[in-house]
Amino acid sequence: MVEVTVTPQSSLADRPVKIQVRGLSPSQLVTLRAVLKDERGEIFQSCAFFRADGAGEVDPSLHPALGGNYSGIWPMGLFWFLQPDTLFRRLVKRDVAGSPFLVHLEVFNGLLLAKEPQEQALASCEAQRWYVGPGVQRVAIKEGRVRGALFLPP
């Protein structure tokens, strides 16, 4: 049975995570895909092609991507290379303290070239990417013409 995991499952957006796929056939060609829907409903995606090692595993921090949105060894490549489905859209997080970005990770057999996959994913999981840590307070700043936010640690 194929399994994809992201460790830790919930983390701050600037912290690295470890992505692993297990249960593949040795040398199996797969596509790892990341999908994120922002607060405005815009979709951002990335994908990379990998060949499983002799144990039937894929680890982007050890195994090079063979193509897709990037190639080579990029442990956080699926997150760093997210691209909008609609041209010229930017990934912006307005509610930094209230909710995380949810990044859906999927594994597909073979090379997935379409943005909308027609086949069922072999496995999937979800990663939460927070912009504010637990216990951090947000204080609105309004002084004259100055506007901003002060984030105070717990």
Backbone angles phi, psi at 22, to 5 degrees: -130, 160
Coil vs helix vs strand at 51: strand
pLDDT at residue 51, rounded to an integer: 97
78: alpha, beta or left, given left = phi > 0 and alpha = psi -120 to 50? alpha
- Our count of domains for the chain comes to 1
Q: Where are the alpha helices (DSSP H) in the chain?
A: 77-80
The two most distant CA atoms of the chain are separated, in Å, by 64
User: What residue numbers bound the domain in which 54 lies?
Assistant: 3-152
pLDDT at residue 36, rounded to an integer: 96
CATH code for the domain of 92: 2.60.40.2240
Q: Are 119 and 129 in contact (CB under 8 A)?
A: no
Q: How many Cα atoms sit within 13 Å of 87 on the Cβ side?
A: 0
pLDDT at residue 92, rounded to an integer: 86
* Residues of the chain where predicted confidence (pLDDT) is lower than 50: none
pTM of the model: 0.87
pLDDT at residue 55, rounded to an integer: 96
